């Protein structure tokens, strides 16, 4: 096996903060200066693709294998989100590059959000310190360091190190001989912060490919990072996006031929008779291990910095694995009695019933501006469930691993507007592979809307039945409601028995019989207009003192309607 272990360090930050300059400075410094102990392992950072470069450092422990650090230099603009989520599972540490003269900017905040979702460790790099006036440099660095520490306070990276550098002092015009500042210190810091995560060779092979090219006389090489499982020479791999299966002819790690590789390794796989132009980025996997989905059930957690609500029927950019597609959402929550139930991170229970939501229920409605008031009436007063989900329907089918990270965003939002484009994150819990999922699979998803209807009792037919009205529209098929319970305002329970006439009226059977109170209200009293002397008038005034008896008996009906029920049945609510 290779004598090196690989870790991936994401280089993220706002546009122009100096990410690429930093990646370059790190690779060069590491391969020429302090750690230049094994000449054969000192190749300059092999640039695998625009955003990938790497360098090797010895691990602190004596006799340990060398550590290969692969820098994933992310673009600062919209496509950042796709790139970084693609590599999210393999980024072991994130470097957040901040232009020290500017501080936190819109995309620095977005990067911080992605970092919290996708990785465990963070180092904040304050770049361009050469731009600070010399006399005030240290004071300005200290001030910005404090500011950054304060920003991190409310994140999972609380207490993460902040380090000042100048990746390219003097900027683009400066001569190449101008040495970067603070880079050896940064390498030392990275070395102390990086711990090689335990890698697991089990499970189906999955690799994220970031580069694909042909080598004359050899075949087509796909380079990338192994996300899960392991692979050996001669194994078959599938390129699911193209539905192509190929045999692995040869493999290389760090320019050295290998016969096997596993999770976390950076790897080049050579196959034959495959046009490299067909694949730029994407996934390669064990044959038939990745499903292609038309829709999915995902867990949802709103990103607090996202302004505005998450509404059912809204469309978002959905990034899963390596793909970004448009998806339409439908939110749902547990039933109100289960709002406090322990969240399930890695499974979805189709046996449960769920409550439809017009919008994701936010803990902090303040972030939703004016629209906070018209919250869907489905949540019990002010309570928020501990977990929520969404059904996502994709505009085109996507291929992605089970349980993969899902990020919802508004990538078309103005990048220059000072707002976070990332809206929510979650995990893919249940994929729907059938194109006809609306008929085949969705009816099994029991998401319901709770409906309440109010009507009136028009009159009593006898002691055990009444005629109701104003509950249904004239054109409603009352047959669908037959058998549902209604509650009378006088306390009795009734059951809808049949339609009555053509005008939306209906007959209700009251099994326990009408109460005397109901009978009194429903029995028509012949109206007697005051026709007399002063004595009569006095009695009427006395009557006015007594509380008015209710004039109506109302009827209320509560039922569930399952959103995905093709027959639109109504089911009694408890
Ligand atoms: N003065 C000074 N300029 C720097 C430093 N680092 C980078 N720059 C300049 O800042 C500009 C942006 O640097 P890049 O490395 O391309 O920035 P980036 O973050 O990769 O930019 P995007 O990939 O477009 O988001 C370039 O003109 C660099 O020369 C620095 O330490 N000091
Ligand atoms: Mg760049």
- What tens digit of pLDDT does each residue of 84-105 get? 666 655 688 999 999 999 999 8
**Looking at residues 174-198, what average pLDDT do you find?**
88
- The model's confidence at residue 162, banded by pLDDT at 50, 70 and 90, is very high
Residues 6+ apart with CB under 8 A from 43: 31, 255
Which distant-in-sequence residues (6+ apart) come within 8 Å of 159 by Cβ? Answer: 149, 152
Residues 429-439 have a mean pLDDT of 95
User: In angstroms, what is the span from residue 99 Cα to ligand 1's centroid?
Assistant: 9
* Ligand closest in space to the Cα of 24: 1
> Measured from the CA of 21, which atom of ligand 1 is nearest?
15
Highest mean pLDDT among 3-7, 205-209, 218-222, 294-298: 294-298
Cα–Cα distance, 394 to 414 (Å, whole number): 23
Q: Does 545 score more than 60 pLDDT?
A: no
Please tell me the predicted confidence (pLDDT) of residue 396: 94
Task: Tell me how many degrees the CA angle 251-253-256 measures, rounded to the nearest 5.
Answer: 85
Query: Would you state the pLDDT for residue 60?
Result: 64
Residue nearest to atom 13 of ligand 1 (CA): 18
Task: Compute, in angstroms, the gap from residue 369 CA to the centroid of ligand 2.
Answer: 35
Question: Which residue is closest in CA terms to ligand 1's atom 11?
Answer: 16
Q: Does the pLDDT of residue 36 top 50, yes or no?
A: no
Among 40-54, 134-148, 406-420, 511-525, the range of highest mean pLDDT: 134-148
Q: In the 3-class helix/strand/coil scheme, how is 405-452 assigned residue by residue?
A: EEEEECCCCCCCCCCCCEEEEEEEEEEECCCCHHHHCHHHCEEEEEEE
pLDDT-based confidence at residue 31 (cuts at 50, 70, 90): low
Q: pLDDT by residue (tens digit) across 245-268?
A: 999 999 998 778 999 999 888 899
Mutate to test the pocket of ligand 1, among 12, 15, 16 (most ligand atoms within 8 A of CB): 16
Residue 555 has pLDDT above 60, yes or no: yes
106-130 average pLDDT score:
91
82: confidence class by pLDDT, cuts 50, 70, 90: low
Strand, helix or coil for residue 281: coil
Query: Greater confidence, 189 or 368?
Result: 189
User: Considering only 43-52, 282-291, 473-482, 541-550, which range has the smallest mean pLDDT?
Assistant: 43-52
**Is the pLDDT assigned to residue 531 strictly greater than 90?**
no
User: Given ligand 1 and candidates 14, 95, 171, which is best to mutate, with the most ligand atoms within 8 Å of its CB?
Assistant: 171
The chain-wide mean pLDDT, for the chain, equals 84
Angle between helices 183-193 and 19-32 (to 10 degrees): 90
What's this model's pTM, rounded to 2 decimal places? 0.80
Contact residues of ligand 1, CB 6 A cut-off: 13, 15-21, 75-76, 127-128, 130-131, 166-172
Among the atoms of ligand 1, which is closest to the Cα of residue 169? 32
Q: Is the pLDDT of residue 528 over 90?
A: no
Mean pLDDT computed over 539-563: 72
Look at 16-25, 306-315, 362-371, 459-468 and tell me which has the smallest mean pLDDT: 362-371
Quote the ipTM score: 0.99
Percentage of the chain exceeding pLDDT 90: 51
Cβ–Cβ < 8 Å for 118, 404: no
**pLDDT score, position 469:** 94
CA distances 198 to 15, 61, 110, 263, 458, Å, are 33, 17, 28, 9, 73
- The count of C-alpha atoms lying within 13 angstroms of the C-alpha of 203, restricted to the half-sphere facing its C-beta, is 15
Span from the CA of 68 to the centroid of ligand 1 (angstroms) = 24
The per-residue pLDDT for 119 is 85
> In sequence order, which residues have a C-beta less than 8 Å from that of residue 357 and are 6 or more positions away?
312, 331, 332, 333, 376, 378, 379, 388
Question: Which ligand neighbours the alpha carbon of 77 most closely?
Answer: 1
Q: Which pLDDT score, from 0 to 100, does residue 51 have? A: 64
Which ligand is nearest the CA of 174, by number? 1
Report the pLDDT averaged over residues 226-238: 94
476 DSSP assignment: S
Q: Whose CA is nearest to atom 23 of ligand 1?
A: 75
Q: Which residue has the higher pLDDT, 243 or 122?
A: 122
Is pLDDT of 50 > 70?
Answer: no
Q: Quick one: which ligand is closest to 76's CA? A: 1
Pocket test for ligand 1, best of 15, 20, 97 (most atoms within 8 A of CB): 20
- By the 10 Å C-beta count (0-12 exposed, 13-18 middle, 19+ buried), 246 is classed as buried
- Residue 164 Cα to ligand 2 midpoint, Å, equals 19
More confident residue, 176 or 358: 358
State which ligand 1 atom lies nearest to the alpha carbon of 181.
Answer: 31
Q: Which ligand is nearest to the CA of 25?
A: 1
Backbone angles phi, psi at 140, to 5 degrees: -65, -40
At residue 571, the pLDDT reads: 85
Question: What would the pLDDT profile of 359-403 be if each residue is shown by its tens digit?
Answer: 999 876 554 544 444 444 455 666 789 999 999 999 999 988 888
CA nearest ligand 1 atom 14, residue: 18
213-227, 457-471, 539-553: which range is least confident on average? 539-553
* Residue 167 alpha carbon to ligand 1 centre in Å: 8
Arithmetic mean of pLDDT, 207-229: 88
């Amino acid at each position: 096996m290779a004598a090196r272990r690989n870790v991936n360090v994401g280089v993220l930050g706002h546009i122009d903060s100096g990410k690429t300059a930093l990646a370059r400075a790190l690779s060069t410094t590491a391969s020429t200066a302090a750690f230049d102990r094994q000449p054969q392992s000192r190749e300059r950072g092999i640039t695998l693709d625009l955003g990938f470069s790497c360098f090797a450092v010895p691990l602190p422990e004596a006799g340990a294998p060398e550590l290969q650090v692969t820098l994933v230099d992310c673009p600062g603009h919209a496509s950042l989100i796709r790139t970084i989520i693609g590599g999210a599972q393999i980024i072991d540490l994130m470097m957040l590059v901040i232009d020290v003269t500017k501080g936190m900017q819109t995309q620095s905040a977005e990067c911080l959000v992605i970092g919290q979702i996708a990785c465990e460790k963070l180092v904040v790099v304050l770049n361009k310190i050469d731009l600070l006036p010399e006399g005030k440099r240290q004071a300005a660095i200290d001030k910005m360091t404090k500011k950054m520490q304060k920003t991190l306070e409310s994140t999972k990276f609380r207490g993460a190190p902040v380090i000042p550098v100048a990746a390219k002092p003097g900027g683009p015009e400066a001569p190449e001989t101008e040495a970067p500042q603070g880079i050896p210190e940064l390498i030392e810091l990275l070395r102390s912060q990086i711990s090689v995560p335990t890698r697991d060779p089990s499970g189906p092979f999955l690799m994220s490919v970031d580069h694909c090219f042909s080598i004359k006389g050899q075949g087509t090489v796909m380079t990338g990072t192994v996300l899960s499982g392991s692979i050996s020479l001669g194994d078959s791999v599938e390129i699911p996006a193209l539905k192509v299966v190929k045999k692995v002819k040869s493999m290389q790690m760090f320019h050295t031929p290998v016969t096997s590789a596993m999770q976390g390794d950076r790897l080049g796989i050579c196959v034959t008779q495959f046009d490299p132009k067909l694949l730029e980025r994407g996934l390669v996997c064990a044959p038939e291990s990745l499903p292609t989905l038309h829709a999915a059930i995902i867990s949802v957690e709103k990103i607090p910095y996202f302004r505005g609500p998450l509404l059912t029927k809204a469309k978002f950019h959905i990034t899963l694995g390596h793909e970004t597609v448009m998806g339409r959402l439908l939110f749902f929550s547990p039933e109100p009695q289960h709002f406090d139930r322990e969240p399930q991170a890695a499974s979805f229970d189709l046996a449960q019933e769920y409550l439809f939501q017009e919008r994701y229920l936010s803990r902090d409605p303040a972030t939703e501006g004016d629209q906070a008031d018209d919250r869907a009436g489905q949540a019990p007063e002010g309570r928020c469930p501990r977990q929520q989900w969404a059904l996502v329907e994709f505009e085109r089918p996507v291929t992605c691993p089970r349980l993969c990270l899902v990020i919802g965003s508004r990538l078309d939002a103005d990048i220059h507007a000072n707002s976070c484009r990332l809206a929510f994150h979650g995990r893919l819990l249940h994929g729907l592979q059938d194109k006809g999922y609306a008929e085949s699979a969705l009816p099994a998803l029991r998401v319901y809307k709770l409906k309440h209807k109010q009507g009136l009792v028009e009159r009593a037919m006898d002691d055990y039945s009444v005629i109701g009205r104003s509950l249904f529209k004239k054109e409603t098929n009352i047959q669908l409601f037959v058998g549902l319970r209604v509650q009378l305002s006088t306390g009795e329970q009734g059951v809808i028995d049949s339609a009555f006439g053509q005008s939306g009226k209906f007959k209700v059977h009251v099994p326990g019989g009408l109460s005397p109170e109901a009978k009194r209200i429903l029995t028509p009293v012949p109206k007697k207009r005051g026709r007399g002397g002063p004595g009569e008038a006095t009695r009427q005034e006395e009557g006015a003192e007594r509380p008015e008896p209710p004039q109506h008996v109302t009827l209320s009906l509560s039922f569930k309607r399952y959103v995905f029920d093709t027959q639109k049945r109504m089911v009694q609510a408890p």
